[in-house]
């Protein structure tokens, strides 16, 4: 199976490296299309497949085409690709907000898989929600899921609108975590810890809390009750969060991300 990744940015590079590292494909079957000469030169030095600058030199030989460009660049990309593609090719899109119907109409193809990965895919700890058109065969879908699994866990959703929801939760989610971590680091620094001490305390606290959550069948509410003894320090912090409606603000932020994802698809 020959794979063409269009876009040599962070996710395009992550996919190429993950596919090769897992031995699910070989570099002789890996192609990357990158329009920037400087970036293309950098990619060529990484020995992760053949790098091309123009689509007519590579797209016809691809069995799977991965669209890993910014959504705002999709219209120009589609215009250049349409005369070159085979309707039987499978297209995997990770462009936020770009609906499968738009891709189908723009390219004249029917086999489309839409996915939303997130940043931890770079270290094989990501999560990717994905869905597909009816024209994608079960074998093709399993093939693509195996590729996506090289970057972490996957979740198939039946309805395409859930991809926008995944964008708001898991796609943007790492930034929410870093935002909260950054606030805690700053609080620790204000309390007298050095930068490195504050970062260690906060990073390990998050890592340990998530590991503990994953290894036990308890809800977040149950874990909170275990930590927050009545009249204690944790309860004092949680009371402030409740008074400032932090929980509602987090939900509102996620919904704002969902609204933006839907806007991108218009």
The domain containing residue 237 runs over which residues?
Answer: 173-264
- pLDDT band at 149; cut points 50, 70, 90: very high
97: closest CA among 172, 177, 11? 172
In a shared domain, residues 48 and 115: yes
The reply to whether 40 falls in a domain is yes
C-alpha distances in angstroms, 123 versus 20, 80, 119, 148?
A: 14, 33, 8, 13
Contacts of 251-256 with CB under 8 Å at 24 or more apart are: 253/176, 254/168, 254/169, 254/172, 254/176, 255/168
- pLDDT band at 68; cut points 50, 70, 90: very high
The reply to whether 74 falls in a domain is yes
98: closest CA among 82, 79, 116, 110? 116
Q: Give me the CATH number covering residue 254.
A: 1.10.3730.10
Of 158, 185, 211, the position where a domain reaches its end is 158
Q: What is the pLDDT of residue 251?
A: 97
Q: 168-193 pLDDT, tens per residue?
A: 999 999 999 999 999 999 999 999 99
Q: What is the pLDDT of residue 96?
A: 87
Q: Give me the CATH number covering residue 22.
A: 3.40.50.720
In a shared domain, residues 127 and 250: no
pLDDT at residue 243 tops 80: yes
In a shared domain, residues 129 and 183: no
Compute the average pLDDT of residues 148-166: 96
Q: What is the pLDDT of residue 199?
A: 98
- The strand pair at 112-116 and 50-52 is best described as unpaired
Q: 74-91 pLDDT, tens per residue?
A: 999 999 999 999 989 999
In a shared domain, residues 73 and 132: yes
Q: 110-138 pLDDT, tens per residue?
A: 999 999 999 999 999 999 999 999 999 99
| DSSP-based three-state secondary structure for 157 | coil
The reply to whether 31 falls in a domain is yes
In a shared domain, residues 22 and 112: yes
**Both structure tokens of 142:** 């399993």
In a shared domain, residues 87 and 184: no
């Amino acid at each position: 199976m020959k794979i063409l990744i269009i876009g040599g940015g962070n996710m395009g590079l992550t996919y190429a490296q993950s596919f090769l590292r897992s031995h699910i494909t070989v570099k002789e079957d890996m192609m990357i299309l990158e329009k920037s000469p400087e970036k293309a030169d950098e990619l060529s030095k990484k020995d992760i497949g053949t790098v091309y600058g123009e689509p007519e030199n590579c797209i016809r030989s691809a069995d799977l085409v991965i669209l890993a460009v910014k959504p705002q660049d999709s219209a120009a990309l589609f215009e250049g690709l349409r005369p070159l593609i085979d309707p039987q090719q499978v297209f995997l899109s990770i462009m936020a907000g770009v609906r499968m119907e738009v891709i189908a109409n723009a390219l004249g193809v029917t086999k489309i898989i839409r996915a939303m990965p997130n940043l931890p895919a770079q270290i094989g700890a990501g999560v990717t929600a994905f869905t597909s058109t009816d024209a994608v065969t079960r074998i093709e879908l399993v093939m693509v899921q195996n590729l996506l699994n090289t970057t972490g866990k996957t979740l198939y959703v039946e309805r395409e609108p859930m991809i926008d929801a995944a964008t708001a939760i898991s796609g943007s989610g790492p930034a929410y975590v870093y935002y909260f971590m950054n606030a805690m680091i700053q609080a620790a620094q204000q309390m007298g810890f050095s930068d490195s001490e504050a970062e260690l305390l906060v990073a390990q606290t998050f890592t340990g809390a998530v590991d503990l959550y994953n290894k036990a069948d308890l809800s977040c509410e149950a874990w909170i009750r275990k930590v927050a003894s009545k009249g204690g320090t944790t309860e004092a912090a949680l009371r402030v969060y409740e008074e400032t409606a932090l929980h509602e603000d987090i939900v509102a932020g996620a919904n704002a991300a969902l609204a933006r994802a839907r806007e991108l698809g218009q």
